[in-house]
């Protein structure tokens, strides 16, 4: 006998989420973090079942300071979500148009009259990525406190030819977001940090989030120290460690360097912000669920992700300072990650299942050259989603 329509209507659909066992969740994170040799890590998970925390290790080597979701850390490229949101707000206000050429706001950009703000937002300008310039890493290794203005890092990019014509392809480039910070200052008429505070941080209640001043090397208390093996280029160039360095780190013969107080000014609108796991969870959910932008701008923002590889239309996509990926037919996330010397992090929100996830570690790269927060993700997502079996470290 066929089910009646009334019976079919009340039959519960299979849940996309697993029941979370806090002890099993903590144990899984412990195992994965141990393999990656991270000094400390925080995982903050919010689902319809509640809020779950998994913490590992210490915020400072040689101490027993357990990490916490309220600890401050450098969020690196998660800052891009904020820069993109501010640009979208300025467009919403009529202070700029997303199809404006960047040359309307910033002088001296190679081919700037043919590069639009949208192309900067979506990493499709073709401009050389200044963090690949070897002189930047060398300068920071020689003087970790050295300050860089946005113009100084843009000059590093503009000395090199573009990698491709505007909108011809996708390439992640920090140059795009430094430029967007300059656009925001010109269009908004105020310093970027002040606009972030007034337009984003205060309205969303992000009391632990800030943009440090040019010469500010400090983090607000409480904070985590941040560590990395090798020189600054290990984080900026995304190159694997040499075999001998990996072996020395893995066996404990090489201790990681404390990068906590390296000046982040070179990252500016592309990655200089400081925040906490609690604040990032609030921020990414607010951004994805429409609490930052008006309804029309929100729809434009949600539709902005474009396939990074045209041959993989269902693969990872990048839009207005946000990545998007579907894990399975019932689970997908809007997300971003952050990496700089000392820290690695991830934040994401799945609007279909009301899942918010923030992960940070205080080791940029594991001895085997894995970006540590990202390497923890398969373990965490396997705990959260039913039917998911991602390979783990």
List the domain boundaries for the chain: 19-384
Across 69-75, average pLDDT: 98
The answer, yes or no, to whether residue 6 has pLDDT greater than 60, is: no
The answer, yes or no, to whether residue 134 has pLDDT greater than 80, is: yes
DSSP state of 37: T
Instruction: Give the global pTM.
Output: 0.95
Give me the pLDDT at residue 3, please.
30
Q: How many CB atoms lie within 10 A of CB 294?
A: 12
Report cis status (omega within 30 of 0) of the bond before 167. no
Dump pLDDT digits (tens) for 179-221.
Answer: 999 999 999 999 999 999 999 999 999 999 999 999 999 999 9
Give the three-state DSSP class for 31.
helix
The answer, yes or no, to whether residue 9 has pLDDT greater than 50, is: no
How many CA atoms lie within 13 Å of 305's alpha carbon, on the beta-carbon side? Answer: 20
Give me the pLDDT at residue 14, please.
59
Task: Give every CB contact of residue 298 below 8 A, 6+ residues apart in sequence.
Answer: 290, 292
Assign domain 19-384 to its CATH superfamily.
DD-peptidase/beta-lactamase superfamily (3.40.710.10)
Give me the pLDDT at residue 328, please.
82
Task: Give every CB contact of residue 209 below 8 A, 6+ residues apart in sequence.
Answer: 201, 273, 274, 275, 276, 279, 283
- Name the pLDDT band for 12 (thresholds 50, 70, 90): very low
What is the distance between the alpha carbons of residues 155 and 153, in angstroms, rounded to a whole number?
5
- Name the pLDDT band for 239 (thresholds 50, 70, 90): confident
Give me the pLDDT at residue 251, please.
95
Lowest mean pLDDT, pick from 59-73, 78-92, 195-209, 377-391: 377-391
Please, what is the average pLDDT of the chain? Answer: 94
Task: Give every CB contact of residue 134 below 8 A, 6+ residues apart in sequence.
Answer: 233
365 Cα distance to chain centroid: 15
DSSP string, 188-253: HSS-HHHHIIIIIITTTT-TT-B---TT----PSSB---EESS-THHHHS-PPPPHHHHHHHHTTS
The answer, yes or no, to whether residue 13 has pLDDT greater than 90, is: no
Give me the pLDDT at residue 238, please.
80
Give me the pLDDT at residue 1, please.
27
- How are the residues of the chain apportioned to helix, strand and coil, as percentages rounded to the nearest 5? 40, 20, 45
Q: What percentage of residues in the chain have a pLDDT greater than 70?
A: 96
| Cα-based distances in Å from 334 to 55, 168, 347, 349, 360 | 23, 24, 9, 6, 17
- Is 387 or 82 the better-scoring residue by pLDDT? 82
Q: Where are the alpha helices (DSSP H) in the chain?
A: 5-10, 22-36, 79-92, 117-121, 134-142, 150-158, 174-188, 192-195, 233-236, 243-250, 268-271, 277-289, 295-303, 372-384
Longest Cα pair distance anywhere in the chain, in angstroms? 78
- Is 302 or 330 the better-scoring residue by pLDDT? 302
């Amino acid at each position: 006998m066929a089910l009646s329509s009334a019976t079919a209507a009340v039959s519960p659909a299979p849940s996309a989420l697993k029941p979370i066992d806090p002890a099993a969740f903590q144990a899984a994170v412990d195992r994965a973090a141990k393999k990656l040799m991270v000094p400390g890590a925080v995982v903050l998970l919010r689902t319809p079942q509640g809020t779950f925390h998994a913490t590992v290790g210490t915020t400072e080597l040689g101490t027993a300071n357990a990490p916490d979701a309220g600890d401050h850390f450098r969020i690196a490229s998660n800052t891009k979500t904020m820069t993109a949101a501010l640009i979208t707000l300025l467009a919403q206000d009529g202070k700029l148009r997303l199809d404006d050429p960047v040359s309307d706001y910033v002088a001296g950009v190679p081919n700037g009259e043919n590069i639009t703000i949208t192309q900067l937002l979506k990493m499709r300008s073709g401009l050389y990525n200044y963090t690949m310039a070897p002189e930047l890493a060398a300068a920071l290794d020689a003087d970790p406190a050295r300050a860089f203005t946005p113009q100084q890092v843009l000059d590093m990019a503009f000395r090199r030819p573009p990698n491709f014509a505007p909108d011809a392809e996708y390439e992640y480039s920090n140059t795009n977001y430094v430029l967007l910070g300059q656009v925001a200052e010109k269009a908004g008429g105020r310093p970027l940090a002040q606009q972030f505070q007034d337009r984003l941080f205060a309205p969303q209640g992000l009391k632990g989030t800030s943009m440090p001043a040019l010469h500010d090397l400090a983090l607000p208390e409480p904070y985590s120290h941040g560590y990395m093996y090798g020189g600054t280029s290990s984080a900026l160039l995304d190159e694997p460690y040499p075999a001998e360095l990996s072996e020395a780190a893995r066996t404990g013969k090489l201790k990681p360097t404390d990068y906590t107080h390296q000046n982040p000014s070179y990252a500016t609108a592309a990655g200089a912000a400081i925040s906490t796991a609690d604040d990032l969870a609030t921020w990414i959910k607010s951004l994805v669920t429409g609490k930052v932008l008006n309804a029309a701008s929100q729809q434009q923002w949600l539709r902005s992700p474009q396939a990074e590889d045209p041959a993989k239309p269902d693969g990872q996509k990048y839009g207005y300072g946000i990545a998007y990926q579907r894990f399975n037919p019932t689970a997908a996330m809007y997300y971003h990650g952050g990496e700089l010397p000392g820290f690695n992090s991830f934040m994401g929100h799945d609007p279909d299942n009301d899942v918010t996830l923030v992960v940070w570690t205080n080791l940029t790269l594991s001895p085997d050259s894995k970006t540590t927060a990202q390497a923890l993700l398969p373990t965490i997502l396997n705990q959260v989603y039913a039917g998911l079996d991602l390979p783990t470290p």
